[in-house]
């Protein structure tokens, strides 16, 4: 495979990840895909701290502490709704999740390899 | 692109020149270690297997042990057997000899005791080592390299920074004619549809199948996979479900199409991006890829891990700037700069490819400097 063939394949795929500059510009968090309903904290977010989301920099306020690398909901997620990160479903809300809330094992269930 | 490496008799490209001592079974493992200790530069791969195994499980253990001997990073091999174990030494010797490298054998029962066998083994190893040292690095093509892709101790930065950077390096290696192996089937659960889309219908179906089988194996234990995957460390690092872990993991494979799905420790027949069916267990997964011929492994870690491999350099990269500082003695490449400094993923990926080339040319990884020798075979059947 030569480089131009490879670039064609790359162009064919939706593997859009935010650029490094993008990550820095967002400052405290990153949404990996426009489809996502959670962001990942790039540093610890304190309650009351604001996160800017999307091209229009919509503001969402953290309602509790979000540890570094953890997820925060950017919209209200009713019980049973898909939690979307990387543009894909990472699990299902096991209870209502408020916008700005910490999203983790206490309120999300995996759909896979369950008994 | 060219590298300076060892050209093997069968055309394989070795980036290390190990003399390897392979015990045919757990019962020969102690003697194998003593032999390797006796000859600086020799390395043993002690293990718990090789007896009372049946069918595909037995075959997989044979394939893994023979695969380590066949790996081009190995110049010569000594097989050590007890004599009565389930794996006959000749099963290993003949498969390794097919590559054209020297393979010797010592049997403990046949020698009349372990001490005598150890002395005989040391004597043989000195000759193999002397012979191996006459080989020197020559110009080889990077296209001869098989890169193993691994992640372990993942946190949220792995999927955001380190794995995408590995994906860039993998794409660049493939563009240079090389091969990459994506492994850890457990960590494809929830992302398999994305990989399947990047493959022919037949290969896509195989991807879906191995994931389904892995999921079924967990369910057959009567427990949720989530008791073990994501691991406790993954959870602390912000990874909530296996789906989330998997969606981050597959970024290691870059953007190339998947050419084939192969079994644990199987050698890829073609070039390009290959999926190998291994568990998420780091040591067993790396062992499978190296047994399949990978000469070098790139390993992303969010929390930091010291892991290496007995015969292949393992280059460790983290996307977590704090981990790069705290676990500096275990890490080779800092992808934490993507989050901390806004460095582009592509730029770190290119830097990683440079590091891969340097390691192929002989630069030691942190795990090699620290003397890491991990080896672990995946079992797919019970012991009888």
pLDDT digits (tens, 9 = 90+) for A40-71: 999 999 999 999 988 888 899 999 999 999 99
Asked whether residue B257 falls in the same domain as residue B148, the answer is yes
Asked whether residue B31 falls in the same domain as residue B54, the answer is yes
Residue B376 lies in a domain: no
Task: Give the model's confidence band at A23: pLDDT under 50 very low, under 70 low, under 90 confident, else very high.
Answer: low
Residue B12 lies in a domain: no
Q: Which domains can be identified in chain A, with CATH numbers?
A: 19-109 (2.30.130.110)
Asked whether residue B344 falls in the same domain as residue B240, the answer is yes
Alpha-carbon distance of A115 to A67, in angstroms, equals 30
Predicted pLDDT of residue B337: 95
Asked whether residue B123 falls in the same domain as residue B152, the answer is no
Predicted pLDDT of residue A13: 40
Is the pTM above the cut of 0.90?
yes
Q: For A85, name the nearest residue in chain B, comparing CA atoms only.
A: B244
Residue listed under structure tokens 């290993």 = B92
Predicted pLDDT of residue B222: 86
Nearest to A67 among B157, B238, B243 (CB): B238
A86·B256 Cβ contact <8 A: no
Report the 3 state secondary structure along chain B: CEEEEEECCCCCEECCCEEEEEECCHHHHHHHHHHHHCCCCEEECCCCCCCCCCHHHHHHHHHHHHHHHHCCCEEEEEEEECCCCCCCHHHHHHHHHCCCCCEEEEEHHHHCCHHHHHHHHHHHHHHHHHHHCCCCCEEEEHHHCEEEEEECCCCHHHHHHHHHHHHHHHHHHHHCCCEEEECCHHHHCCCHHHHHCCECHHHHHHHHHHHHHHHHHHHHCCCCHHHCCCCHHHHHCCCCCHHHHHHHHHHHHCCCCEEEEECCCCCCCCCEEEEECCCCCHHHHHHHHHHCCCCEEEEECCCCCCCCCCCCCEEEEECCHHHHHHCHHHCCEECCHHHHHCCCHHHHHHHHHHHHHHHHCCCCCHHHHCCCCCCCCCCCCCCC
Bridge-based pairing of strands B103-107 and B74-81 is parallel
Question: Which residues of chain B lie closer than 8 angstroms to A6, CB-CB?
Answer: 171, 174-175, 255-256
Residue B382 lies in a domain: no
Asked whether residue B181 falls in the same domain as residue B152, the answer is yes
Predicted pLDDT of residue B219: 87
Question: Which residues of chain A lie closer than 8 angstroms to B257, CB-CB?
Answer: 9
CATH number at residue B109: 3.40.50.2300
Size of interface A-B (CB pairs under 8 A): 141
Predicted pLDDT of residue A7: 38
pLDDT exceeds cutoff 50 at A4: no
Alpha-carbon distance of B215 to B193, in angstroms, equals 15
Nearest to A1 among B235, B272, B343 (CB): B272
Interface test with B, best of A14, A86, A108, A115 (most B CBs within 10 A): A86
Question: Which residues of chain B lie closer than 8 angstroms to A11, CB-CB?
Answer: none
Closest alpha carbon to B156 in A86, A35, A81: A86
Question: Which residues of chain A lie closer than 8 angstroms to B338, CB-CB?
Answer: 20, 23
Of A10 and B351, more confident: B351
Predicted pLDDT of residue B283: 98
Predicted pLDDT of residue B228: 79
Asked whether residue B61 falls in the same domain as residue B125, the answer is yes
Asked whether residue B283 falls in the same domain as residue B307, the answer is yes
Asked whether residue B225 falls in the same domain as residue B311, the answer is yes
B255·A13 Cβ contact <8 A: yes
Asked whether residue B158 falls in the same domain as residue B112, the answer is no
Predicted pLDDT of residue A57: 83
Of B132, B160, B189, the last residue of a domain is: B132
Residue B343 lies in a domain: yes
Asked whether residue B183 falls in the same domain as residue B310, the answer is yes
B235·A13 Cβ contact <8 A: no
Alpha-carbon distance of B371 to B150, in angstroms, equals 19
Instruction: Count how many domains chain B has.
Output: 2
Question: Which residues of chain B lie closer than 8 angstroms to A44, CB-CB?
Answer: none
Residue B124 lies in a domain: yes
Q: If you average pLDDT over every residue of chain B, what do you get? A: 97
Residue listed under structure tokens 């990472």 = A90
Predicted pLDDT of residue B7: 98
Q: Which two tokens stand for residue B348?
A: 């770190």
B241·A24 Cβ contact <8 A: no
A42–chain B nearest CA distance, Å? 7
Predicted pLDDT of residue A1: 35
Predicted pLDDT of residue A25: 60
Nearest to A90 among B198, B240, B339 (CB): B240
CB of A37 within 8 Å of a chain B CB? The answer is no
Closest alpha carbon to B243 in B202, B288, B205, B194: B194
Asked whether residue B171 falls in the same domain as residue B251, the answer is yes
pLDDT exceeds cutoff 50 at A11: no
Question: Which residues of chain B lie closer than 8 angstroms to A16, CB-CB?
Answer: none
Q: Side-chain half-sphere of B381: how many Cα atoms within 13 Å?
A: 15
pLDDT exceeds cutoff 50 at A15: no
Q: What is the pLDDT of residues B96-115, one digit of tens each?
A: 999 999 999 999 999 999 99
Spans of chain B, pLDDT less than 50:
none
A65–chain B nearest CA distance, Å? 13
Of B70, B103, B132, the last residue of a domain is: B132
CB of A92 within 8 Å of a chain B CB? The answer is no
Asked whether residue B96 falls in the same domain as residue B226, the answer is no
Nearest to A115 among B222, B337, B339 (CB): B222
Predicted pLDDT of residue B327: 96
Residue ranges making up the domain that contains B126: 18-132
């Amino acid at each position: 495979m030569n480089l131009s063939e490879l670039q064609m394949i790359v162009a064919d795929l939706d593997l859009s990840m935010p650029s490094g500059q993008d990550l820095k510009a967002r400052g405290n968090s990153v949404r990996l895909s426009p489809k996502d309903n959670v962001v990942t904290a790039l540093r610890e977010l304190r309650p009351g701290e604001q996160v800017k989301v999307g091209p229009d920099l919509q503001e969402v306020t953290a309602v509790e502490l979000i540890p570094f690398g953890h997820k925060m909901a950017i919209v209200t997620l009713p019980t049973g709704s898909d939690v979307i990160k990387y543009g894909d479903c990472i699990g299902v809300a096991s209870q209502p999740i408020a916008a700005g809330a910490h999203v983790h094992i206490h309120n999300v269930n995996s759909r896979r390899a369950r008994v | 692109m060219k590298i300076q490496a060892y050209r093997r008799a069968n055309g394989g490209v070795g980036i290390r020149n190990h003399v390897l001592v392979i015990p045919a079974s757990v019962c020969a493992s102690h003697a194998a270690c003593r032999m390797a200790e006796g000859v600086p530069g020799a390395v043993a791969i002690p293990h718990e297997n090789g007896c009372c195994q049946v069918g595909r499980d037995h075959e997989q253990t044979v394939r893994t042990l023979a695969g380590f001997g066949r790996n081009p990073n190995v110049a010569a091999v000594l097989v050590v057997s007890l004599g009565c174990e389930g794996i006959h030494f000749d099963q290993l010797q003949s498969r390794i000899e097919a590559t054209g490298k020297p393979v010797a054998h010592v049997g403990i029962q046949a020698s009349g005791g372990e001490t005598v066998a150890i002395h005989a083994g040391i004597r043989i190893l000195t000759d193999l080592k002397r012979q191996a040292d006459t080989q020197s690095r020559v110009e080889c093509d990077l296209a001869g390299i098989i890169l193993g892709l691994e992640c372990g101790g993942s946190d949220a930065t792995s999927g955001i920074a380190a794995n995408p950077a590995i994906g860039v390096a993998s794409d660049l290696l493939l563009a240079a004619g090389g091969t990459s192996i994506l492994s850890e089937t457990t960590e494809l659960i929830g992302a398999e549809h994305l990989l399947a889309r990047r493959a022919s219908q037949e290969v896509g179906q195989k991807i879906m199948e191995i994931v389904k089988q892995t999921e079924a194996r967990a369910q057959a234990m009567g427990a949720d996979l989530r008791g073990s995957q994501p691991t406790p460390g993954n959870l602390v690092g912000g990874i909530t479900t296996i789906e989330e872990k998997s969606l981050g993991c597959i970024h290691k494979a870059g953007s190339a199409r998947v050419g084939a799905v192969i079994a644990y420790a199987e050698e890829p027949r073609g070039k390009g991006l290959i999926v190998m069916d291994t568990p998420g267990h780091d040591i067993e997964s790396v062992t499978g890829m190296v047994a399949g011929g990978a000469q070098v492994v790139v390993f992303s870690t969010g929390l930091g891990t010291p892991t290496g491999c007995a015969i292949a350099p393992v280059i460790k990269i983290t996307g977590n700037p704090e981990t790069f500082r705290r676990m500096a003695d275990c890490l080779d490449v800092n992808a934490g700069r993507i989050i901390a400094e806004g460095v582009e993923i592509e730029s770190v990926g290119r830097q990683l490819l440079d590091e891969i080339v340097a390691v192929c040319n002989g630069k030691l990884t942190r795990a090699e400097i620290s003397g890491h020798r991990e080896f672990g075979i995946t079992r797919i059947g019970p012991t009888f």
